[in-house]
Amino acid sequence: MRRTVTGRTDHVVIVGAGLAGLSAALHLLGSGRRVTVVERDALPGGRAGSRELGGYRLDTGPTVLTMPHLADEAFAAVGDRLADHVELLPLHPAYRACFADGGTLDVHTDAAAMEAEVERFAGAREAAGYRRLRTWLTRLHAVQMRRFIDANFDSPLGLLTPDLARLAALGGFGRLDARIGRFLTDERLKRVFSFQSLYAGVAPARALAAYAVIAYMDTVAGVYFPRGGMHALPRAMAAAAVTAGADLRLGRDVTRLERSGSRITAVVTADERIPCDAVVLTPDLPAAHRLLGRRPRRPVPLRHAPSAVVLHAGTTRTWPHLAHHTLSFGTAWHRTFEELTRTGTLMTDPSLLITRPTASDPALAPEGRHLHYVLAPCPNTETGPDARAWSDLAPRYRDRLLATLEGRGLAGLAAAIEEECLVTPADWTAQGHAAGTPFSVAHTFAQTGPFRPRNLVRGTDNAVLAGCGTTPGVGVPTVLISGKLAAARITGTPGRRTAAKGGRR
């Protein structure tokens, strides 16, 4: 039996209407709790926000959606369906990978299509290796999801299950790069199945092989895009929560928590005091700790993932070789991770994610126009330039980024831009993200599973954390799970819900 908060839990206040907070809200409503969600911004979504720029509709957060059934679980908690709110467009290919040698690989989630593409790209031997890799990724996911990802931990002893031995037998505690190398020898192909570790904050050569589960989500389970943009997902979740009885209060910044002994008794904004029986905190860890009035002691300080510079560009033209998601790899690879995680220098030969959402939904831009989102990983402000340095760096880096893109086949990009927005670590810092990164705490071994900041708060009987800084970690699927796990800490009944009618009062 997992630990839960103690005492009454009839009325739960959730601080933050991001994906984690909305997931928690729906699961709590399904268990019969009264729920109030307080959000500082004018829109729900948190990191998965939206912005209008000269007729272009920008997603200000994640652009890749995998494992949408996890969102559907939250809707199902109140007797609803994701499909009734959001049209999901499966992406074929999931990605297009472009390499410095001119080679191009379309990443398909269909096994036969991907095998044929790998054979075309790198030969029959690599295609056979891909078949074995896909089988391994599928087994890895099956072992991890129930026991290690979609699970609350009370201590490291919670790892001691038969699935731990199965994970070890699969090589999950080896190194990601080496494990992928057992199946594939082509260095370009290895990148396609290991670049995901960057967003976990660890180089493939040092990341646990268990993190290949992210490659499963991308390359096996499938990649989707919600019509209307990624922000359509939190918008729909918020609407479903309100229909199910949630009180959603937008534009309210929480300033403090009232306590009585070891319990939170009210959430206070500039304008109101909201009494509560329990609270779910979803802001970044430093903000949550400030509200709680204490920061947990750790033997080693938390290490944060690399950050990113994002260029949103509304253009008068596009480039036919771009898929919805295009990975543009430079020649350098190992050096890139050294720069991002150790030396703190900007990538000298960057690998970039280019997203063209108008490839799937032209309505996101004015007629005849196109929207491009370029994500360039960069060091966080603890490892690299601090937030103040970015005020001088930003325009120079923007020009350097455009020059790199033009040199990689996007000729005329700079001249085609009519609306743009550049987001740097200074902006992430201003939004309250520790170390100037939207990717939160890195997934080192010492910050994974039961060693990651836990969602139960020591010294407070009725507060729970949710979001990418706590378990299970960074990414849309895991953040949705974090909301469900937070709700389970309050209800004690993970995966169970009352009749839909009970959540719709």
Q: Mean pLDDT in the chain?
A: 93
Q: Show the tokens assigned to 279.
A: 């609270």
Distance CA 467, CA 482 (A): 6
The CA angle 148-153-155, to the nearest 5 degrees, is 120
pTM score over 0.75: yes
465 exposed, middle or buried (CB, 10 Å; 0-12, 13-18, 19+)? buried
Query: For the residues 267-277, what does the mean pLDDT come to?
Result: 97
Least confident window among 31-35, 191-195, 293-297: 293-297
- Find the DSSP H helices in 346-492: 390-407, 413-416, 425-430, 476-491
pLDDT of residue 496: 39
Length of the chain as a residue count = 505
* Contact call for residues 414 and 398 (beta carbons, < 8 A): no
pLDDT of residue 399: 97
pLDDT of residue 156: 67
The listed range with the strongest mean pLDDT (153-167, 168-182, 309-323) is 309-323
* Chain centroid, CA 88 distance in Å: 18
How many other CB atoms are there within 10 angstroms of residue 2's CB atom? 14
Distance CA 505, CA 500 (A): 10
The phi and psi torsions of 291 (rounded to 5 degrees) equal: -65, -40
Three-class SS state of 178: helix
Q: Identify the helix (H) or strand (E) that includes residue 236.
A: helix 232-243
- Taking only the tens place, the pLDDT of each residue in 314-372 is 999 999 999 999 999 999 998 998 999 899 999 999 999 999 999 999 999 999 999 99
pLDDT of residue 298: 77
pLDDT at residue 498 greater than cutoff 60: no
Percentage, residues of the chain above pLDDT 70: 96
pLDDT of residue 42: 96
- Taking only the tens place, the pLDDT of each residue in 5-63 is 999 999 999 999 999 999 999 999 999 999 999 999 999 999 999 999 999 999 999 99
pLDDT at residue 494 greater than cutoff 80: no
Cβ neighbors of 401 (< 8 A, separation 6 or more) are 309, 311, 350, 352, 374, 376
pLDDT of residue 499: 34
Distance CA 22, CA 45 (A): 8
- Taking only the tens place, the pLDDT of each residue in 363-410 is 999 999 999 999 999 999 999 999 999 989 999 999 999 999 999 999
